[in-house]
Chain A
Amino acid sequence: MSNIFDILGPVMVGPSSSHTAGAVRIGYITRVLLGEEPIVADIGLYGSFSSTGKGHGTDRALVAGLLGMHPDDIRIPQSFELAREAGLDFAIHGIQLQDAHPNTAVIEVTGKNHKKLSVESCSIGGGRIRISKLDGITVNCSGESPTLIVHNIDQPGHVAEVTSMMAKCEVNIATMQLYRDKRGGYAVMVIETDQQVPEEKRRWLENLDGVIKVTYIDGEEI
Chain B
Amino acid sequence: MSFQALEDILTVCDEEKILFWEAVLREDMNDRLVSREDSISKMKEMWYAMFHASRHYDASLKSSSGLVGGTGGQMDLYRQREEPICGDFVAEVMAEALKMGESNACMKRIVAAPTAGACGVIPAVLVPLYKRGQVTEEQVIEALYVTAGIGQVIAERAFIAGATGGCQAEIGSASSMAAGALVYLKGGSNAAIAQGSAMALKNLLGLVCDPVAGLVEVPCVKRNVIGAVNALSSADMALAGIESRIPPDQVIDAMKEIGTKMHVSLRETGEGGVANTPTAQLVRERLEKNGD
- Of all chain A residues, which has the CB nearest B283? A55
A56 to B63, CA, bound (A): 9
Whether B285 is near chain A, meaning CB under 8 Å from some CB there, is no
- Of all chain B residues, which has the CB nearest A6? B155
B72 neighbours in A (Cβ, 8 Å): none
Q: Is the CB of B114 within 8 A of A7?
A: yes
Whether A52 is near chain B, meaning CB under 8 Å from some CB there, is yes
Q: Is the CB of A54 within 8 A of B105?
A: no
Q: Is the CB of A3 within 8 A of B28?
A: yes
Interface size on B, residues (CB 8 A): 54
A94 to B291, CA, bound (A): 11
Taking residues whose C-beta sits less than 8 angstroms from the other chain, chain A's interface range is 35 or more
Query: B43, B119, B214, B217: which has the most chain A beta carbons within 10 Å?
Result: B214
Given A3-B2, A3-B28, A57-B64, A14 and B103 touching (CB < 8 A)? yes
A4 neighbours in B (Cβ, 8 Å): 2, 24, 27-28, 31, 145, 148-149, 151-152
- Of all chain A residues, which has the CB nearest B113? A8
B115 neighbours in A (Cβ, 8 Å): 17, 126
Q: Is the CB of A8 within 8 A of B151?
A: yes
Residues of chain B having any CB pair with chain A under 8 Å: 2, 24, 27-28, 31-32, 42-43, 45-46, 49, 63-65, 103-117, 119, 122, 144-145, 147-149, 151-152, 155, 160-161, 163-164, 213-217, 270, 287-288, 290-292
Task: Supply 18 A–B pairs (Cβ within 8 Å), ascending by A.
Answer: A3-B28, A4-B2, A7-B114, A8-B147, A9-B111, A14-B107, A14-B109, A16-B116, A51-B214, A52-B214, A54-B64, A54-B290, A54-B291, A55-B64, A55-B287, A72-B49, A93-B292, A125-B164
Residues of chain A having any CB pair with chain B under 8 Å: 1-18, 20-21, 48, 51-52, 54-57, 60, 72, 74, 76-77, 93-94, 125-127
